[in-house]
Amino acid sequence: MEAAGRTTTACVTGAGGFVASWLVKLLLSRSRYTVRGTVRDPGNAKNAHLAALDGAGERLRLLKAELLDYGSMAAAIAGCDVVFHVACPVLDAPTPDPEAEILAPAVTGSINVLKACSEAKVKRVVVVSSVSAVMVNPNWPRGKVMDEDCWTDVDYCRTTQNWYCLAKTLAEREAFAYAKTSGLDVVTVCPSLVIGPLLQPTVNASTAIIVDYLKGEREVENKTRNFVDVRDVVDALVLVCETPEVSGRYICSSYSWKVSDVIGLLKSMYPTYKFANKFVQVSDEPSYSSQKLEMLGWKIKPLEETLRDSVESYKAAGFLD
Ligand SMILES: NC(=O)c1ccc[n+]([C@@H]2O[C@H](COP(=O)([O-])OP(=O)(O)OC[C@H]3O[C@@H](n4cnc5c(N)ncnc54)[C@H](OP(=O)(O)O)[C@@H]3O)[C@@H](O)[C@H]2O)c1
């Protein structure tokens, strides 16, 4: 999305989070990018890793912004060429107030970001959605691999109180509706469970799932699950941003594995951990096709590499003590 030799100013919302931190790192590794990262609390130690990234001193600026505060998002986005909208609450426990804690920031917050992008005449917005906006579809033919045509059924989510899937689906649908009426160039990327090493000092919700497998303190759900390496996710985000001829949504998922087999592989690599051994059998997740993304040249890491780098990162951070 930029002419050769020009610099690109990119905004990354929720810059201190798991996925966004890797995205900021990737953008800074390419000298043509200047990055504006939004964080809710720039002084908080949980965001300190960003300032330590290579290139941060010269090309990263952190701005305080909250998704529901339009003015703060607009100030961060003004003057940007491209925006990666990554921020969204990803909770690791149910909340008594899903409207305030999940739906409003996910849906109204996204609309705020998109409106600010229109106002700033941003050239492309890459929205991080999720397979949560794909997979909850009781009408999809059983056994058929899910592709970008499959959308989560919002009524079914309301009935089953599946607030995160509802929020991600409404946010993605609203993004495309807004793009249609405003002419804003919006593409979405829908990752499955994102795993891999951490840059941030805290355990995010998807990392907690793998930490649980290793620590073996809790019963785990055994099912076929879909995984993707965080570094492959951010490669996908930059790929769709930089490829002129993209459109619509892109599923971003690398592996479909039984949880018990992932734990078996981890055990073969790290035999000394305790590991989950109490399983409750639940329905398998569907499988997804990332072919649309692969056609753009997207490549993935072997699962062994992702798991090894994850465990080494958890060990270094003391999460397995
Ligand atoms: N991890 C996965 O398995 C996975 C899979 C598919 C899609 N996704 C999507 O990927 C994105 C990033 O997820 P993640 O795993 O990196 O989660 P994360 O580490 O929890 O990061 C979420 C980020 O969103 C920010 N945020 C939350 N509510 C906000 C609000 N009201 N205003 C401003 N910022 C807010 C958080 O800021 P604070 O630090 O201030 O809380 C944090 O920086 C999300 O859109 C998520 O839905 C994740």
Q: Is the dihedral of CA 15, 18, 23, 26 positive or negative?
A: positive
Active site residue 168: yes
Say what angle helices 303-317 and 205-215 make with each other, to 10 degrees: 90
- 183 C-alpha to center of ligand 1: Å? 26
pLDDT in tens, 103-120: 999 999 999 999 999 999
Is residue 98, in this structure, part of any structural domain at all? yes
Is residue 203, in this structure, part of any structural domain at all? no
- 224 C-alpha to center of ligand 1: Å? 24
Is residue 168, in this structure, part of any structural domain at all? yes
- Provide the 10 A C-beta neighbour count for residue 10: 29
Catalytic residue of the set 25, 115, 168, 267: 168
- Non-local (6+) Cβ contacts of 244 within 8 A are 1
Q: How much is the pTM?
A: 0.98
Q: Which of 23, 77, 86 to mutate to test the pocket of ligand 1 (most atoms within 8 A of CB)?
A: 86
Mean pLDDT to the nearest integer, 217-234: 97
- 87 C-alpha to center of ligand 1: Å? 4
Please, which residues bridge with residue 193 across strands?
A: 227
Is residue 76, in this structure, part of any structural domain at all? yes
- Among protein residues, the one whose CA lies closest to atom 8 of ligand 1: 130
Is residue 319, in this structure, part of any structural domain at all? no
Residue 102 carries which DSSP code? I
pLDDT at position 3, please? 47
Q: Which of 194, 230, 254 to mutate to test the pocket of ligand 1 (most atoms within 8 A of CB)?
A: 194
**Residue ranges with strand state E in 213-317:** 220-222, 224-229, 248-252, 255-258, 279-281
pLDDT in tens, 241-259: 999 999 999 999 999 999 9
Q: What ligand 1 atom has the least distance to the C-alpha of 204? A: 19
| Segments forming the whole domain that contains residue 155 | 8-196+226-254+286-300
Q: Domain tally for the chain?
A: 1
Q: Which of 63, 72, 88 to mutate to test the pocket of ligand 1 (most atoms within 8 A of CB)?
A: 88
Q: What is the CATH number of the domain that holds 121?
A: 3.40.50.720
Q: What ligand 1 atom has the least distance to the C-alpha of 195? A: 3
pLDDT at position 6, please? 80
Residues with CB under 6 A from ligand 1: 14, 16-20, 40-41, 66-68, 86-90, 105, 109, 128, 130, 168, 191, 193-194, 204, 206
pLDDT in tens, 16-31: 999 999 999 999 999 9
Is residue 309, in this structure, part of any structural domain at all? no
**Alpha helical stretches, state H, 67-120:** 70-77, 98, 109-119
- Among protein residues, the one whose CA lies closest to atom 36 of ligand 1: 14
- 251 C-alpha to center of ligand 1: Å? 18
pLDDT at position 55, please? 98
- pLDDT, mean over the chain: 96
pLDDT in tens, 41-68: 999 999 999 999 999 999 999 999 999 9
Is residue 272, in this structure, part of any structural domain at all? no
- 234 C-alpha to center of ligand 1: Å? 14
- Among protein residues, the one whose CA lies closest to atom 38 of ligand 1: 40
Is residue 59, in this structure, part of any structural domain at all? yes
